[in-house]
């Protein structure tokens, strides 16, 4: 038959299959390749060939001559490369350097937090997540037939694999795993490995047991969920000999923890972001204070957006409150570290320098001096014959033993260095970096004194307030160690009823009203103890808080640490770091005018002498503290001395 092509198809060696075969002349026919050759008859479309369009001349192939490329200038003045024959723009072929840069950029896209914007700024990982967060969904639609436990497991797994994570070294995955371990979704902390698939769309599992590397360039794959949403290219695995996920038995501790999270997500989030992070030491790494609330905020919103508890109004309300807590924690948790770095402020230090130290941390730990064993002291003062023999042997070799308390003396330290350093040998100090550092300055000036290491400039009240008579007309009153909550923050503003000296303070400093965190003995906890009044305080307090050995001052309206607020003066630079509701634990010192000794502490100004801890407003103590889980040591476990 004229114009009818015949296609010969070789059968699939694995057996029968269906294939769609394209005819050379554009027609398609679905055929079945059996264990023998198949002839396919396709309808011919041409000849005859269609006529050419008007004004177009078709050049026969034998007459065609390649013309190469040429550069032309566009109307905008830009020079572009085009095909010399047709005048069409060409596609640039990358050179080796550009191809290497493209591969590097592709790797950067594999981990969040590596990309840059048009200004060259490094885009934080949470901004990358936020950009496409509304498009991230779960792999299934939740319904009433699915248990709440299974829903949370599925949501957590989809949340993990459905986004690009930062490098492992940045600690984002660590915090995520710590949270899953805390709520019972994990039995142990996992390790992450690169997956390697034998065929497209399949995953074989860990790459020969090798640890994951952020520089690997394999495509993201995972087995836990729909591959359409997979962006995480690492697969979690258990450590050797450990179980990664808990069993489904309802009696296990992990399942009970997960049910407690489902029943009260708000409390669980509060506890994890406050007392648990403190007890586990996570707060001492400053980046965790931003990572933890940010990751939880994304996860909780992910569950809310995908309707994990859409059919359970009680759980849905708890989830909404948990989202609000995580959002607040993104602001307050980083501030706890910032406040610890800037408080006490310059005004606080100047007051302490002026009035002296009124409260000491040892007062709040124990007011009873330790008993000294005179016999042990006398025995210790006697020279040890072993030490004496050792020193004698060293002296025979011209080696002198210098006690540590002598070395700490600045003058002796200088003599020691001068006697032991060879003057002809130049000590290399060119690698000591920081300009203005007192250690570097002392070494470069050959002033080998320990005093320069601890010289810290403390501003005076004159530097802050200018010429003032405050040190002559004010004295300290009540000194309290407690945890107080920020109630109000008032910027500098003069009060017409205040004295002239108080107006000097009001126009330069911010007033922060601090309320009690603990209002009664029933509210006392391990983290928030009963307020303590220092023995050196001056002023009437309720009998319950009067220091031991101090006479109770009769007063019709004594100061009550459980109920009275105090107004603390802070530097203006500190104001923007304060947040309503946050707690500060430290020593508060009252300043009272000498001529108004009966002025109540509520209407006096206070300053902070020292800061021990700072807390977010939502701080919640865990029901089970770490010390409760530590078993008492058994005699059999004590090693022989």
Q: Which of 155-159, 179-183, 361-365, 583-587 has the lowest mean pLDDT?
A: 361-365
Distance CA 17, CA 331 (A): 60
Two structure tokens written together for 430:
């060119």
What is the rounded average pLDDT of the residues 492-510? 93
For 469, the 3-state DSSP assignment is coil
295 vs 371: which has the higher pLDDT: 295
- Taking only the tens place, the pLDDT of each residue in 315-339 is 999 999 999 999 999 999 999 999 9
Report CA dihedral (263, 299, 234, 285) to the nearest 10 degrees: -100
Distance CA 176, CA 141 (A): 24
Distance CA 337, CA 409 (A): 34
What pTM was estimated for this model as a whole? 0.68
User: In the chain, how many H helices and how many E strands?
Assistant: 20, 14
Residue 72 maps to a domain: yes
State whether 539 and 602 are in the same domain.
Answer: yes
* Confidence label for 9 from pLDDT (cuts 50, 70 and 90): very low
Give, rounded to a whole angstrom, the gap between the first and last alpha carbons of the chain.
104
State whether 329 and 464 are in the same domain.
Answer: no
Residues near 110 by beta carbon (within 8 Å), at least 6 away in sequence: 164, 214, 216, 217, 220, 233
What DSSP line would sit under 450-473, residue for residue?
A: GGGGS------HHHHHSS--HHHH
**H or E stretch at 417:** helix 410-420
* Confidence label for 289 from pLDDT (cuts 50, 70 and 90): very high
Residue 507 maps to a domain: yes
- Taking only the tens place, the pLDDT of each residue in 39-79 is 444 455 667 778 888 888 888 888 888 888 888 888 888 88
Residue 445 maps to a domain: no
Distance CA 87, CA 72 (A): 9
- Other C-beta atoms lying within 10 Å of the C-beta of residue 494: 11
Whether the predicted pLDDT of 344 surpasses 80 = yes
**H or E stretch at 98:** helix 96-110
Distance CA 298, CA 127 (A): 11
State whether 80 and 161 are in the same domain.
Answer: no
Residue 283 maps to a domain: yes
Distance CA 570, CA 568 (A): 6
* DSSP state letter for 248: S
- What pLDDT does residue 293 have? 98
State whether 277 and 327 are in the same domain.
Answer: yes
Whether the predicted pLDDT of 428 surpasses 70 = no
Total count of domains within the chain: 3
Nearest alpha carbon to residue 225 among 129, 110, 137? 137
Distance CA 336, CA 581 (A): 12
Highest mean pLDDT among 259-263, 440-444, 532-536: 259-263
Residue 157 maps to a domain: yes
Which residue matches tokens 């949270």? Answer: 179
Distance CA 609, CA 589 (A): 7
Rg (CA), the chain: 38
- What pLDDT does residue 446 have? 56
Distance CA 436, CA 424 (A): 27
Do 566 and 588 form a contact (C-beta atoms < 8 A)? yes
What is the rounded average pLDDT of the residues 422-427? 49
Nearest alpha carbon to residue 480 among 570, 565, 590, 558? 590
- Looking at the DSSP bridge assignments, the partners of residue 491 are none
State whether 330 and 463 are in the same domain.
Answer: no
State whether 91 and 175 are in the same domain.
Answer: no
- What pLDDT does residue 400 have? 66
Per-chain mean pLDDT for the chain: 78
Residue 421 maps to a domain: no
Percent of the chain that is helix, strand, coil (3-state, to 5):
35, 15, 50
Residues near 381 by beta carbon (within 8 Å), at least 6 away in sequence: none
The Cα angle at residue 286 between residues 111 and 177, in degrees rounded to 5: 50
Residue 391 maps to a domain: no
State whether 182 and 255 are in the same domain.
Answer: yes
Nearest alpha carbon to residue 329 among 413, 269, 403, 252? 269
Question: Do strands 38-41 and 28-33 pair parallel, antiparallel, or not at all (unpaired)?
Answer: unpaired
Do 613 and 482 form a contact (C-beta atoms < 8 A)? no
- What pLDDT does residue 418 have? 56
- What pLDDT does residue 441 have? 62
- Taking only the tens place, the pLDDT of each residue in 604-636 is 999 999 999 999 999 999 886 554 444 444 443
Two structure tokens written together for 269:
């989030």
- What pLDDT does residue 115 have? 82
Nearest alpha carbon to residue 561 among 520, 528, 595? 520
Whether the predicted pLDDT of 313 surpasses 70 = yes
State whether 605 and 577 are in the same domain.
Answer: yes
Which residue matches tokens 């250690």? Answer: 439
State whether 156 and 75 are in the same domain.
Answer: no
- What pLDDT does residue 96 have? 85
* Beta strand spans in 100-216 (E): 191-194
Residue 240 maps to a domain: no
- Taking only the tens place, the pLDDT of each residue in 373-423 is 554 445 444 455 656 777 777 777 767 666 655 444 445 555 545 555 555
- What pLDDT does residue 35 have? 44
- What pLDDT does residue 247 have? 84
State whether 181 and 289 are in the same domain.
Answer: yes
- By the 10 Å C-beta count (0-12 exposed, 13-18 middle, 19+ buried), 231 is classed as middle
* Confidence label for 32 from pLDDT (cuts 50, 70 and 90): very low
Two structure tokens written together for 84:
């010399």
Residues near 413 by beta carbon (within 8 Å), at least 6 away in sequence: 407, 448, 449, 450
The Cα angle at residue 579 between residues 488 and 182, in degrees rounded to 5: 135
Residues in the chain: 641
Distance CA 46, CA 584 (A): 88
State whether 266 and 350 are in the same domain.
Answer: no
Whether the predicted pLDDT of 179 surpasses 90 = yes
Distance CA 172, CA 178 (A): 10
Phi, psi of 303 (to 5 degrees): -65, -40
Looking from the CA of 528 toward its CB, the CA atoms found within 13 Å total 22
Distances 176 to 189, 214, 328 between C-alpha atoms, Å = 10, 18, 18
Percent above pLDDT 90 for the chain: 48
- Looking at the DSSP bridge assignments, the partners of residue 478 are none
**H or E stretch at 592:** strand 583-593
b/e for 569-598, b at 16 or more Cβ within 10 A? bbbeebbeebbeebbbbbbbbbbbbeeeee
Distance CA 518, CA 544 (A): 14
What is the rounded average pLDDT of the residues 2-15? 45
- Taking only the tens place, the pLDDT of each residue in 230-271 is 788 788 999 999 999 888 777 889 999 999 999 999 999 999
493 vs 52: which has the higher pLDDT: 493
User: What residues make up the domain containing 551?
Assistant: 344-359+459-615
Distance CA 340, CA 78 (A): 57
State whether 184 and 74 are in the same domain.
Answer: no
Distance CA 396, CA 392 (A): 6
- What pLDDT does residue 533 have? 95
SS (H, E, C) 184-229: CCCCCCCEEEEECCCCCCCCCCECCCCCCCCCCCCCCCCCCCCHHH
């Amino acid at each position: 038959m004229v114009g009818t092509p015949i296609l010969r198809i070789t059968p699939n060696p694995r057996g029968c299959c269906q294939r769609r075969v394209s005819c050379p002349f554009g027609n398609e026919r679905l055929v079945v390749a059996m264990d023998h050759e198949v002839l396919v008859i396709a309808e011919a479309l041409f000849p005859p060939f269609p006529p050419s369009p008007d004004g177009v001349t078709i050049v026969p192939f034998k007459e065609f001559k390649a013309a190469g490329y040429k550069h032309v200038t566009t109307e905008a003045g830009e020079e572009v490369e085009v095909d010399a024959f047709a005048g069409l723009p060409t596609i640039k072929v990358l050179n080796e350097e550009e191809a290497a840069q493209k591969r590097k950029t592709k790797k950067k896209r594999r981990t969040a937090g590596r990309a840059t914007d048009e200004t060259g700024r490094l885009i934080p990982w949470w901004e990358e997540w936020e950009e496409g967060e509304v498009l991230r969904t779960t792999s299934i639609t939740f319904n009433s037939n699915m248990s709440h436990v299974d829903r949370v497991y599925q949501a957590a797994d989809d949340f993990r694999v459905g986004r690009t994570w930062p490098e492992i070294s940045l600690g984002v995955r660590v915090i995520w795993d710590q949270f899953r371990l805390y709520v019972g979704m994990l039995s142990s902390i996992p390790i992450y490995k690169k997956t390697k698939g034998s065929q497209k769309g399949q995953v074989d599992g860990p790459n020969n047991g090798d640890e994951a590397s952020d520089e690997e360039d394999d495509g993201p794959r995972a087995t836990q969920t729909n591959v359409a949403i997979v962006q995480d290219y690492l697969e979690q695995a258990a450590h050797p000999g450990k179980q990664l996920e808990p069993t489904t038995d309802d009696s296990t501790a992990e399942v009970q923890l997960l049910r407690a999270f489902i029943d009260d997500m708000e409390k669980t989030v509060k506890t994890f972001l406050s007392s648990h992070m403190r007890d586990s030491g996570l707060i001492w790494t400053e980046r965790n204070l931003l990572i933890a609330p940010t990751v939880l905020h994304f996860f909780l919103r992910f569950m809310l957006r995908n309707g994990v508890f859409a059919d359970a109004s009680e759980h849905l309300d708890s989830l909404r409150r948990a989202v609000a807590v995580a959002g607040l924690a993104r602001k307050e948790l980083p501030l706890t570290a910032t406040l610890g770095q800037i408080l006490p402020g310059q005004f606080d230090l100047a007051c302490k320098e002026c009035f002296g130290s009124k409260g000491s941390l040892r007062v709040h730990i124990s007011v009873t001096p330790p008993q000294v064993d005179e016999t042990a002291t006398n025995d210790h003062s006697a020279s040890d014959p072993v030490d004496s023999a050792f020193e004698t042997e060293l002296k025979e070799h011209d080696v002198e033993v210098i006690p540590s308390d002598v070395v700490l003396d600045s003058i002796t330290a200088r003599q020691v260095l001068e006697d032991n350093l060879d003057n002809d040998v130049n000590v290399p100090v060119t690698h000591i970096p920081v300009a203005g550092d007192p250690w570097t300055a002392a070494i470069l000036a050959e002033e080998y004194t320990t005093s320069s290491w601890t010289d810290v400039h403390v501003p005076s009240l004159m530097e802050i307030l200018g010429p003032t008579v405050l040190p002559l007309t004010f004295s300290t009153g009540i000194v309290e160690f407690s945890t107080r909550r920020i109630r109000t923050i008032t910027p500098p503003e003069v009060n017409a009823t205040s004295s002239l000296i108080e107006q000097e303070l009001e126009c330069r400093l911010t007033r922060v009203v601090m309320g009690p965190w603990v209002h009664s003995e029933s509210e006392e906890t391990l983290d928030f103890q009963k307020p303590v009044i220092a023995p050196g305080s001056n002023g009437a307090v309720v009998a319950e808080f009067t220091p031991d050995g101090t006479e109770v001052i009769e007063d019709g309206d004594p100061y009550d640490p459980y109920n009275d607020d105090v107004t603390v003066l802070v530097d203006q630079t500190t104001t923007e770091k304060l947040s309503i509701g946050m707690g500060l634990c430290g020593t508060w010192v009252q300043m009272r005018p000498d001529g108004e000794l009966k002025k109540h502490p509520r209407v006096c100004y206070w300053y902070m002498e020292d800061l021990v801890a700072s807390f977010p407003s939502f701080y919640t103590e865990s029901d089970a503290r770490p010390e409760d889980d530590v078993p008492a040591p058994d005699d059999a476990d004590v090693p022989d001395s």
